[in-house]
Copies of this chain bind each other. A is one copy, B any other.
Amino acid sequence: MAQEILRSHFAHLYPITTRWHDNDVYGHVNNVVYYSFFDTSANRFLIEECGLRIETSPVIAYVVASQCEYYSPVAYPGNIEVGFRVKKLGNRSVSYEFGVFSQKEQACALGAFTHVFVERESGRSVSIPEEIKSQLLKAIVPIV
């Protein structure tokens, strides 16, 4: 872990309850499950702040790349918070960054993924709609 990653580095904090079967056979939340935390947090932002309607919006977002570094384990039944911020905003895509926080001040994991916006019908890449873009802009957190 090269640097300190704190809750204050993120634009939003989303609480997530862990589940019995998030833990794998080694007793910690499985590495795969962290990506569901990221997916859940970014889409919650898109739904709550940007007006995305999962069922009907003509423009939706697909994940084209994702990554995660795991620093210290978390485990059910402990609950977590996921920090969310926009890392890089392009014309047709956006990259988010996520911090997974358990009880400690420091993040347990740092993740990221990139959303490309597409027409639901055609799957073709399109510009990020203005009302979404303006909200994404507000979630950029300058790292001091």
Chain B minimum-CB-distance residue to A112 = B67
Chain B minimum-CB-distance residue to A43 = B20
Q: Is A69 an interface residue (CB 8 A)?
A: yes
Show 21 A/B contacts (Cβ-Cβ < 8 Å), sorted by A: A16-B19, A19-B37, A19-B39, A21-B32, A21-B33, A21-B36, A25-B25, A25-B55, A27-B54, A30-B39, A31-B39, A31-B63, A32-B36, A32-B39, A40-B77, A47-B77, A48-B77, A62-B70, A65-B67, A65-B69, A66-B68
Q: How large is the interface on A (under 10, 10 to 19, 20 to 34, 35 or more residues)?
A: 35 or more
Chain B minimum-CB-distance residue to A68 = B66
Within 8 A of B (CB), among A65-94: 65-70, 76-77
On whether the beta carbons of B35 and A20 are closer than 8 Å, the reply is no
Q: Is A24 an interface residue (CB 8 A)?
A: yes
Copies in the complex: 4
- Chain A interface residues toward B at CB < 8 A: 15-21, 23-27, 30-33, 35-37, 39-40, 43-44, 47-48, 54-55, 60, 62-70, 76-77, 113, 120
